[in-house]
């Protein structure tokens, strides 16, 4: 019996050591077959376009096919859940905005997954701050005046968004809590109808994505009050940040990141991170990102894991405080 126990222990140790020594070898040879990138949102949107750009560049670098597959539904959680169930071998990856990872799962009574445990964070590829826009006739020409008006007229301010749990919605709720203002949330099915009604004066304000909001500002259909970035956006250089307003500070953005299933070997994670960083730091690619309103991030897997935890907690607090639920 003792001899059998020693034999089993030795076999177990040998197996573990074999896995440990195999990981660097697997990472070095990766990928040796096609790679699939899951996107939980519809084709043609910002996340899908970014994923296809990443896939094209990685395919060239790796000399392997990298295919984008759209698995849509439930605010992007269906696609993300697909990846949580995949093998952690690096051949099924996910590119997703934070709303599908740190927000949407917390809106369900029973979360389909916990990204902090069920996914491997690799890197945030890019982020894009939001711009607070309103109709030109709205009685505030800057953020300070907007806050003053909202405090004095709690029943007159309405916040449009592209839907419950969207970046504009969550940023609005964060703003209301931090600055002590009220305002009714008016959700739409996407950002474009929300922009249309704000431009028409039916709804007071919208935290719009800069690439979609600023063209309306430039034509005079809307006016911009403030952006939510840590610094001014290159697509809105004349619009100050919230911190510049002197009223306080909120830094939020729509960010897209790449993940793998939980349990990926650290060497494999590092290789994918290194390769994604290599292709996205190319001058022409970085310029394309900036031109589309995105700012390259490319933080390390360790930095991203910490950031993901903080974002999960931040938006979880907003969801609980407002008793928000998926619709």
- pLDDT one-digit tens code per residue, 106-157: 999 888 999 999 999 999 999 999 999 999 999 999 999 999 999 999 999 9
Task: Specify if 179 maps to a domain.
Answer: yes
- pLDDT one-digit tens code per residue, 33-75: 999 999 999 999 999 999 999 999 999 999 999 999 999 999 9
Residue with tokens 């916040």: 159
* Residue bearing the bigger pLDDT, 310 or 1: 310
**CB distance 301 to 270 below 8 Å:** yes
Same domain, 212 and 275: no
Same domain, 223 and 143: yes
- CA–CA dist 90, 122 (Å, integer): 11
**CB distance 199 to 209 below 8 Å:** no
- pLDDT one-digit tens code per residue, 210-245: 999 999 999 999 999 999 999 999 999 999 999 998
Task: Specify if 150 maps to a domain.
Answer: yes
Task: Specify if 178 maps to a domain.
Answer: yes
The pLDDT value given to residue 4? 53
Task: Specify if 251 maps to a domain.
Answer: no
Residue with tokens 């096919």: 65
Same domain, 187 and 288: no
Specify the number of domains making up the chain.
3
Which candidate, 127, 128, 150, places its Cα nearest to that of 205? 150
Q: What is the mean pLDDT of the chain?
A: 93
The pLDDT value given to residue 28? 84
- CA–CA dist 67, 38 (Å, integer): 8
Same domain, 68 and 165: no
3-class state of residue 273 by DSSP: helix
- Whether the pLDDT of residue 25 is over 70: the answer is no
Q: What is the DSSP letter of 188?
A: -
Same domain, 52 and 118: yes
Task: Specify if 327 maps to a domain.
Answer: no
- Whether the pLDDT of residue 14 is over 70: the answer is no
Same domain, 143 and 80: no
The pLDDT value given to residue 81? 97
Same domain, 186 and 281: no
Q: What is the pTM of this model?
A: 0.89
Same domain, 118 and 266: yes
The upper half-sphere exposure of residue 298, i.e. CA atoms within 13 Å in the direction of its Cβ, equals 17
Range of the domain at 219: 129-245
Residue 141 is inside which H or E element, if any?
Answer: none
Task: Specify if 326 maps to a domain.
Answer: no
3-class state of residue 66 by DSSP: strand
């Amino acid at each position: 019996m003792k001899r059998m126990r020693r034999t089993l222990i030795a076999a177990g140790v040998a197996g573990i050591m074999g896995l440990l020594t195999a990981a660097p070898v697997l990472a070095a040879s990766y990928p040796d077959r096609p790679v699939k990138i899951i996107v939980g949102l519809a084709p043609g949107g910002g996340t899908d376009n970014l994923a296809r750009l990443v896939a094209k560049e990685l395919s060239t670098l790796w000399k392997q096919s990298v295919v984008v597959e759209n698995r849509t539904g439930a605010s992007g959680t269906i696609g993300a859940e697909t990846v949580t169930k995949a093998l952690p071998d690096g051949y099924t990856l996910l590119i997703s905005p934070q709303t599908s990872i740190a927000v949407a799962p917390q809106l369900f009574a029973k979360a389909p997954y916990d990204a902090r445990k069920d996914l491997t964070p690799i890197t945030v590829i890019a982020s894009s701050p939001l711009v607070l826009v309103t109709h030109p006739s709205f009685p505030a020409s800057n953020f300070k005046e907007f806050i003053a008006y909202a405090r004095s007229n709690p029943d007159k301010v309405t916040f449009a968004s592209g839907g419950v749990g969207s970046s504009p919605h969550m940023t609005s709720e964060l703003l209301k809590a931090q600055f002590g203002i009220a305002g009714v949330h008016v959700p739409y099915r996407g950002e474009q109808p929300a922009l249309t009604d704000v431009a028409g004066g039916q709804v007071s304000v919208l935290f719009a994505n800069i690439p979609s909001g600023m063209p309306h500002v430039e034509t005079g259909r809307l006016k911009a009050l403030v952006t939510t970035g840590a610094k001014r956006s290159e697509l809105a250089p004349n619009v100050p940040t919230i911190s510049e307003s002197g009223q306080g500070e909120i830094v939020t953005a729509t960010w897209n990141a790449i993940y793998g299933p939980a349990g990926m070997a650290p060497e494999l994670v590092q290789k994918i991170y290194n390769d994604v960083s290599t292709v996205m730091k190319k001058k022409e690619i970085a310029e394309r990102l900036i031109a589309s309103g995105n700012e390259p991030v490319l933080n390390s897997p360790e930095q991203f894991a910490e950031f993901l935890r903080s974002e999960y907690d931040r938006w979880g607090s907003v969801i609980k405080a407002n008793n928000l639920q998926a619709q």
